[in-house]
Amino acid sequence: MSDTVLAVKHLKTHFFTRHGVVKAVDDVSFDVRRGETLCLVGESGCGKTTAALSVLRLVDSPPGKILGGDIAYHNDNLLGCPDERLRQIRGKRIAMIFQDPQSSLNPVFTVGDQIAEQIKLHLRLKRKEAMDRVLQLMERIGIPKARERMKDYPHQFSGGMKQRVMIAIALSCDPEILIADEPVTALDTTIKSQILDIFQGLKQQKSMSILFITHDLGTVAGIADRIVVMYGGRVAEVGTASDIFHQPKHPYTHGLINCLPKVATGRIRLAPIPGTIPSLIDPPKGCIFSPRCQQRMPVCDEHIPKEVTITSDHRVACHLFA
Amino acid sequence: MINRFSNKVGGLRNLIFIATLLALVLTLLLDIYALDRILAPLAYFYLFFALFFMFYGLYPLYANRRLTKYYWDRTKRHRLSILGLIFIIFLIAIALIGPFLTQDPTRVNFQEKNLPPSGFSIQQSVYDLKTGGFVTRETPGTLQHPLGTDDKGRDMLAMLVSGARVSLQVGLLATLMAVLIGTILGVASAYLGGWVDNALMRFTDVMMTFPFFLLLVFIVFIFGPSLAFIILAIGLTGWTGTARLVRSETLSLRAREFVMASKSLGASGTRIIFRHLIPNVISSVIVIATLSIPGVILAEAALSFIGLGDPTVTSWGVILNAGQRSLDTAWWVAVEPGIMLFLTVLAFNFLGDGIRDAFDPRSQL
């Protein structure tokens, strides 16, 4: 497809720990298209963050190691290109926002300096020009009294404001792709919706692609164009937002959606998925979800399910549809 | 063009620093090849550290006036640390301008030997030429030698001033050097991790167990006693504590998300080390530096005391050594440098305490 900006194919990232090999990401494929919001959804520990970090080769090594796969960004293979080239892409073309705004800013520099750093690094602007740009960015992202606040230190900012600063840093070089790793999880609901609005606005104005990582289906419902549901380091189901919410195929996706409180049906009890994620060091032999699956079949214990195409955009990895 | 280079090394300040450093090296080379001395060899040594201190000590304090004021306000709450600071400033002042105001500390005058400080007087038995025997005579201190003279008639005040200069040189330069090495090794070790970390830390272990006095005796034996080598020896062996501390601090910093964030935005390893890690550990480094200066000063005094010091300079240790031999006849010769050492060490310790409390966010006074 021509409007694919980032194609991740058969990505394998494992962690080699003292207790064994953790297969955090095992054969994951997805693609990000121009101007869309792709959400990576799953429980804690399902490998969403590792997958996102692998895109920019940010997995700490050791213990982590990207064992295989292919990440294509235009003509560059991000897994194979030299470090120098990768540094040019990081921040300038593909930017990233992290979960915890409290610790994502360097406490000893002013906020303005930190936003300016990437600008000076990538766009080679002079200090004065860089500072003008910082001011614009801070205003665009909704930080009041930007001219004074840019001289403040991170501890003088609230959590929501810090996350805005992080977004400003990520946007400073007008990236093509924004990877946001749980950017609103640490924030309260009001701030959360303001930040999500900023994301929506950016996507429309700049036709930027967003890879949004979250475990919160409520957030996903608000912003996603397409959704990748991950479970135990593998992709369970990929589809458009309406596919996933209205016609979920994978039993795990069903389970996730049943966990959401619904106003319309008036159901009193939520239906959690029984059990927990199995150890990724020693996963079940067949389908990794099988121990918790209510529609488990004998084949599920034997073979890892292959991806089945339902419609051109909707794929599911489950033996039920094989 | 300049912009591009300064981006490579992380800022215009670093660029100017590197440029001045290069200029210094160039004059040094010129000095070696052209026989005319432009600067004394020791001057290069001092200039290097002075440059370093200016660019990475004074300039940031000036650039972040608000932060400097904040730390100053916090340090100020410690009354004793201010006293310490005043004493240190006084010491620096006399070390800088004192030698121009006092007499020559090496001038020997046996006519005026063993004069007590002014205001004191002692009973001294002197050989009287007229009677041809020893008589006991009252010897009062004179205003010409306000702190008295030693057994060779040298002016104590001049010697103490010269000693202050030596002590400060050794204390500040050796500490700066130790801290510099320790910080760079510590941060690099923690940031790079893996086998680099292992190798550097085992090297630190070896350095820690290596007897520092033995190394110094070797150096003195090979190169001859010289202040520069004493500073080098202390600096080259004294970094281990700093390296350990900085490494452990960096390990916890490295796990913080801003390092990952900075990496995700395209910063290189050196940039992360110099822009993000070092500024974050610098406050502990300053504290450890202030608190290790007294140890270094005492080490130099001890070396001079046992005769391993530079014989061409008058340091407090040398005076102490001379004084302890005549403690029964001329007590002031040993007591005066002793008091100076005591006060200097105390002043640095007080200041260090104050700075530590100011830099430690957990101590809300």
Convert the pLDDT of each residue in B203-213 to its tens digit: 999 888 887 77
Chain A: give the shortest CA distance to residue B258, in Å.
4
Same domain, B95 and B122: no
With 50 as the cut, is the pLDDT of residue B222 above it? yes
Sheet with A226-231, side-by-side order of all strands: A94-97, A177-181, A209-214, A37-41, A226-231, A234-240, A314-317, A307-311
- Confirm or reject contact between A120 and chain B (CB < 8 A): yes
Sheet with A64-73, side-by-side order of all strands: A20-33, A4-17, A64-73, A76-77
Nearest to A126 among B3, B194, B256 (CB): B3
Q: In chain B, pLDDT over 90 holds for what percent of residues?
A: 2
Distance CA(B173)–CA(B42), nearest Å, equals 12
Same domain, B132 and B158: no
Q: Which residues contact A183 (CB under 8 A, 6 or more apart)?
A: A97, A98, A99, A163, A166, A167, A195, A199, A212
Distance CA(A318)–CA(A305), nearest Å, equals 5
In this structure, of A38-47, A116-125, A160-169, B149-158, the range with the lowest mean pLDDT score is: B149-158
Whether B280 and A109 lie within 8 Å, measured CB to CB:
no
Identify the band that residue A284 occupies on the pLDDT scale cut at 50, 70 and 90: confident
Chain B: give the shortest CA distance to residue A169, in Å.
8
Determine if the peptide bond prior to A62 is cis (ω within 30°): yes
**Chain A residues whose beta carbon lies within 8 Å of the beta carbon of residue B256:** 103
With 50 as the cut, is the pLDDT of residue A227 above it? yes
Q: Is residue B364 part of a domain?
A: no
Distance CA(B175)–CA(B285), nearest Å, equals 11
Same domain, B127 and B256: no
pLDDT (tens digit per residue) in A163-215: 888 888 888 888 889 998 888 877 788 888 888 888 888 888 878 899 999 88
Identify the band that residue B296 occupies on the pLDDT scale cut at 50, 70 and 90: confident
Nearest to A98 among B7, B257, B280 (CB): B257
pLDDT (tens digit per residue) in B5-42: 655 555 677 778 888 888 888 887 777 777 666 667 66
Distance CA(B348)–CA(B331), nearest Å, equals 26
- Confirm or reject contact between B137 and chain A (CB < 8 A): no
Q: Is residue B127 part of a domain?
A: yes
Same domain, B324 and B348: yes
The per-residue pLDDT for B162 is 84
Domain boundaries, chain A: 4-93+175-321
Q: Is residue B237 part of a domain?
A: yes
Distance CA(A67)–CA(A234), nearest Å, equals 15
The per-residue pLDDT for A226 is 92
**Chain B residues whose beta carbon lies within 8 Å of the beta carbon of residue A169:** 261, 265
Whether A96 and B265 lie within 8 Å, measured CB to CB:
yes
- Confirm or reject contact between A118 and chain B (CB < 8 A): yes
Determine if the peptide bond prior to B60 is cis (ω within 30°): no
Strands B121-128 and B133-140, sheet pairing: antiparallel
With 80 as the cut, is the pLDDT of residue A269 above it? no
Mutation pick from A58, A121, A126, A169 vs chain B, by most beta carbons of B within 10 Å, is: A121
Same domain, B161 and B126: no
With 50 as the cut, is the pLDDT of residue B136 above it? yes
Same domain, B267 and B193: yes
Paired residues of B58 in beta bridges: none
Q: Is residue B54 part of a domain?
A: no
Whether B267 and A98 lie within 8 Å, measured CB to CB:
no
- Confirm or reject contact between A96 and chain B (CB < 8 A): yes
Whether A106 and B276 lie within 8 Å, measured CB to CB:
yes
Closest-CA residue to B293 (of B205, B159, B177, B184): B177
Same domain, B253 and B176: yes
Chain A: give the shortest CA distance to residue B339, in Å.
40
Whether B276 and A120 lie within 8 Å, measured CB to CB:
no
What 3 state SS string does A82-96 have? CHHHHHHHECCCEEE
The per-residue pLDDT for A270 is 74
Q: How many domains does chain B have?
A: 3
Same domain, B213 and B287: yes
Same domain, B258 and B338: yes
* Higher pLDDT pick, A224 / B110: A224
Whether A58 and B263 lie within 8 Å, measured CB to CB:
yes
Q: In chain A, pLDDT over 90 holds for what percent of residues?
A: 4
Same domain, B275 and B348: yes
pLDDT (tens digit per residue) in A27-62: 888 889 888 899 999 888 788 888 888 888 888 777
- Confirm or reject contact between B361 and chain A (CB < 8 A): no
> What pTM does this model have?
0.73
The per-residue pLDDT for A1 is 45
Whether B265 and A103 lie within 8 Å, measured CB to CB:
no
Same domain, B140 and B190: no
**Chain B residues whose beta carbon lies within 8 Å of the beta carbon of residue A89:** 266
Q: Where are the beta strands (DSSP E) in A74-135?
A: 76-77, 94-97
Nearest to A108 among B257, B263, B280 (CB): B280
Same domain, B256 and B141: no
Looking at domain A4-93+175-321, which CATH architecture does it have? 3-Layer(aba) Sandwich (3.40)
pLDDT mean across residues, chain A: 84
Give the residue-averaged pLDDT of B295-317: 81
Chain B: give the shortest CA distance to residue A48, in Å.
16
Mutation pick from B4, B192, B198, B264 vs chain A, by most beta carbons of A within 10 Å, is: B264
Whether B279 and A108 lie within 8 Å, measured CB to CB:
yes
**Chain B residues whose beta carbon lies within 8 Å of the beta carbon of residue A91:** 264-267
- Confirm or reject contact between B262 and chain A (CB < 8 A): yes
What is the distance between the terminal CA atoms of chain A, rounded to a whole angstrom? 25
Q: What is the CATH number of the domain that holds B168?
A: 1.10.3720.10
Whether B3 and A122 lie within 8 Å, measured CB to CB:
no
- Confirm or reject contact between B113 and chain A (CB < 8 A): no
Identify the band that residue B365 occupies on the pLDDT scale cut at 50, 70 and 90: very low
Whether A95 and B264 lie within 8 Å, measured CB to CB:
yes
Whether B265 and A120 lie within 8 Å, measured CB to CB:
no
- Confirm or reject contact between B13 and chain A (CB < 8 A): no
The size of the A-B interface in CB pairs under 8 A is 71
Backbone angles phi, psi at A11, to 5 degrees: -70, 135
Chain A: give the shortest CA distance to residue B182, in Å.
21
Compare all CA atoms of chain B with the CA of A60 and give the residue at the minimum distance.
Answer: B260
Chain B: give the shortest CA distance to residue A278, in Å.
26
The SS3 of residue A12 is strand
Strands A177-181 and A209-214, sheet pairing: parallel
Cα distances (angstroms) measured from residue B14 to each of A53, B183, B259:
31, 17, 21
Is residue B180 within 8 A of residue B360, CB to CB? The reply is no
The per-residue pLDDT for B361 is 61
pLDDT (tens digit per residue) in A290-314: 888 888 888 888 888 888 888 888 9
Task: Tell me chain B's radius of gyration from C-alpha atoms.
Answer: 24
Highest mean pLDDT among A25-39, B17-31, B305-319, B322-336: A25-39
Identify the domain containing residue B24 by its residue range. 1-45
